[in-house]
Structure formats: C-alpha cells, structure tokens
Amino acid sequence: MNIFTTDIILFLLLISILNDPLLKMFQNLNLDFITSEILIGLILILILWLIHKLVLRKYIFKK
C-alpha cells in the first residue's frame, strides 16, 4: 500500500471520528457552520500532517 493511500484512508477516518464532536464544540462557541467546517478542516489537515511526518514516515514506511 502506498503512503498516500494510507493518508487518504486516515483522513477519512479522522473526518468520520472527529467532525461531529468538533462541530458541536464550535457551535457552542457561536461560530457559524462554514467557519466551523473550515476550522475543522484545518485541524484535521494539521493532525494528518503530524501523523504523516512523525509516525508513517519514521516507523511504517521506512526507506
């Protein structure tokens, strides 16, 4: 399996797990839906980037 395929699968899992709790948290802060989803997207991309650099490249897909 390619590392980028793993990234896509991991990103979809992160969306399905973290989208609803983060959306509820941002809605409680009285942010509108579009702003909440943009912030959630940025948070998920940051998490995916950290996992890609710190875990996948070093331990799973070593060269």
What residue segments make up the domains of the chain, in order of their start?
Answer: 3-60
Q: Picking from 3-7, 10-14, 48-52, 58-62, which range would have the lowest pLDDT averaged per residue?
A: 58-62
Q: Which amino acid is at 34?
A: I
Give pTM, 2 decimals: 0.84
Could you report the per-residue pLDDT of 10-55, keeping only the tens digit for each? 999 999 999 999 999 999 999 999 999 999 999 999 999 999 999 8
Burial 11-40 (b: 16+ CB within 10 A, else e): beebeeeeeeebbeebeeeeeeeeebeebb
Retrieve residue 27's tokens: 């809605």
Determine the pLDDT at residue 63: 67
Contact 32, 14 (CB under 8 A): no
Q: How far is CA 39 from CA 4, 13, 14, 30, 63, in A?
A: 23, 17, 14, 13, 34
